[in-house]
Amino acid sequence: MSTRKVEAITERLCGKAESATHGSRAATLLDEVLESWRNRPLGPIVYLYLDARYEKVRIDGQIRDATVLMASGMNPEGKRLILGVSVSLGEQELRWPEFLQSRWNEERQMCS
């Protein structure tokens, strides 16, 4: 996410504009938190749910279709977890295997 977008979101949420430095720090912190979430160990998953939704997004002034793939699951204690999310443009039938294999390979490497 760009610093400018972080600044705009912060202004909307907080009601005031923040400095570019503040926006940059917030973007860096968000990147770190997201990276930590992406690389967390998943542990055992009892149920796996796969879902997709289609959204309209603006890219370079054009409205395009984007697909949001989401995997969620339930652990043995019954807690529902978001396991992964992927956003991409275009036809998505071929993206499911790539999406699932990327997370499975990361989990396998962490357990090795």
Task: List, for residues 24-43, the tens digit of each pLDDT value.
Answer: 777 788 888 888 888 888 88
Cα–Cα distance between 82 and 43 in angstroms, integer? 12
Compute the chain's Rg from CA coordinates.
17
> What is the average pLDDT across 53-77?
88
Task: Give the other-Cβ count within 10 Å of 69's Cβ.
Answer: 19
- With bands split at pLDDT 50, 70 and 90, how would you rate the model's confidence at 80? very high
Q: How far apart are the first and last CA of the chain?
A: 32
pTM value is 0.63
Say which range, 3-12, 50-59, 75-84, 100-109, has the weakest mean pLDDT: 100-109
Q: Return the pLDDT at 44.
A: 92
Domain positions in the chain: 3-38, 47-111
Cα–Cα distance between 22 and 26 in angstroms, integer? 6
Residue 59: partners with Cβ closer than 8 Å, 6 or more residues away: 89
| pLDDT tens readout for residues 95-110 | 778 888 876 665 544 4
